[in-house]
């Protein structure tokens, strides 16, 4: 079985500060890992994904995440937060062996203050 | 830009009533999904649909739920007799096909279902 834990339901940062959203996963098979973002009144949008290969993946809007197998983590970072980054962020796991369903974490709400 | 559309955005229904949530996936996509998120909880997978049949479903997707692609464009989720605990945001998603690593799932804006 696969699962995702997102540490911290709410994260608040100042504009220009580092953003770090934590995600740990559990998977008995090699995982595929995703970060989705949801802006108010919109659907889920893919930020980035890790499947195989390079463990540091870059996504849209300056976000990146690093797959660390030894730590079973896939934390999302952005060097400098912007007001427009305020949204809800979801980490998700899947694998080709487990079928195509995504297993999501609870989500982390990011607030950015000026 | 093509998008997945869901209607209605918010539906209120009485307990025990049937409800149908509607989705129009992106036109050339082959895989369709329903997920739900109960307030304050995780986004949960319900069911996936491919080639006019269910390809995968979760434990949540019991006999009260059904999906259909009635006309080649719409993809619906029916809940036969709603319960209070069915209150949630329901997301529809679709993707082109192939292995997940090659194609992303596109999500709709969601339908908020409130059962009273």
Condensed to tens digits (0 to 9), the pLDDT of residues B84-104 reads 999 999 999 998 876 655 567
Q: How many residues does chain A have?
A: 114
From A2, A13, A15, select the one nearest A93 (Cα to Cα).
A2
The two three-digit tokens of residue B48, written as one number:
């996936």
In this structure, are residues B8 and B114 in contact, taking their beta carbons and an 8 Å threshold? no
Q: Is B38 in the A-facing interface, judged by CB distances under 8 Å? A: no
pLDDT interval class at B108 (50, 70, 90): very high
Is B101–A51 a contact, with Cβ atoms under 8 angstroms apart? yes
CA distance B33 to B21: 12
Q: Which of B91, B101, B107 sits opposite A32 (nearest CB)?
A: B101
Note the pLDDT tens digit of each residue in A100-113: 688 899 999 999 99
Q: Which of A43, A99, A101 sits opposite B108 (nearest CB)?
A: A43
Q: Is B105 in the A-facing interface, judged by CB distances under 8 Å? A: yes
Is B101–A49 a contact, with Cβ atoms under 8 angstroms apart? yes
Q: Is B18 in the A-facing interface, judged by CB distances under 8 Å? A: no
Q: How far is A34 from chain B, CA to nearest CA, in Å?
A: 10
CA distance B53 to B66: 11
| pLDDT > 60? residue A99 | no
Average pLDDT of B21-46? Answer: 91
The gap from C-alpha A106 to its chain's centroid, in whole angstroms, comes to 11
Q: In chain A, which residues have their Cβ closer than 8 Å to the Cβ of B109? A: 41-43
The two three-digit tokens of residue A104, written as one number:
């999501």
From B35, B42, B15, select the one nearest A91 (Cα to Cα).
B42
Q: How many residues does chain B have?
A: 116
Is B101–A107 a contact, with Cβ atoms under 8 angstroms apart? no
Note the pLDDT tens digit of each residue in A38-61: 888 778 899 999 988 899 999 999
Average pLDDT of B38-61? Answer: 90
Is B42–A36 a contact, with Cβ atoms under 8 angstroms apart? no
Q: How far is A38 from chain B, CA to nearest CA, in Å?
A: 9
Terminal alpha carbon distance of chain A = 41
From B95, B83, B80, B97, select the one nearest B35 (Cα to Cα).
B95
Q: Which of B33, B99, B109 sits opposite A96 (nearest CB)?
A: B99
pLDDT interval class at A1 (50, 70, 90): confident
Q: Is B55 in the A-facing interface, judged by CB distances under 8 Å? A: yes
CA distance B13 to A110: 32
Q: What is the pLDDT of residue B100?
A: 58
Is B109–A101 a contact, with Cβ atoms under 8 angstroms apart? no
pLDDT averaged over every residue in chain A: 91
């Amino acid at each position: 079985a696969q699962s995702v834990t997102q540490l911290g339901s709410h994260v608040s940062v100042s504009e220009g500060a580092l953003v770090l959203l934590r995600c740990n996963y559990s998977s008995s098979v090699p995982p595929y890992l995703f970060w989705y973002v949801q802006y108010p009144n919109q659907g889920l949008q893919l930020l980035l994904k890790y499947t195989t290969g390079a463990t540091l993946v870059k996504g849209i809007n300056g976000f990146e995440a690093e797959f660390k197998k030894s730590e079973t983590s896939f934390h999302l970072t952005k060097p400098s937060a912007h007001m427009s980054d305020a949204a809800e962020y979801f980490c998700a796991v899947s694998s080709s062996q487990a079928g195509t369903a995504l297993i999501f974490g609870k989500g982390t709400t990011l607030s950015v203050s000026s | 830009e093509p998008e997945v559309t869901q209607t209605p955005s918010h539906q209120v229904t009485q307990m025990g009533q049937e409800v149908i949530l509607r989705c129009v996936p992106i036109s050339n996509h082959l895989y369709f999904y329903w997920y739900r998120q109960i307030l304050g909880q995780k986004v949960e997978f319900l069911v996936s649909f491919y080639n006019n049949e269910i390809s995968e479903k979760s434990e949540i997707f019991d006999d009260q739920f059904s999906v259909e692609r009635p006309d080649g464009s719409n993809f619906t989720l029916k809940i036969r007799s709603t319960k209070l605990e069915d209150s949630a945001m329901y997301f529809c998603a679709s993707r082109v096909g192939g292995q997940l690593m090659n194609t992303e799932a596109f999500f709709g804006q969601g339908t908020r279902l409130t059962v009273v």
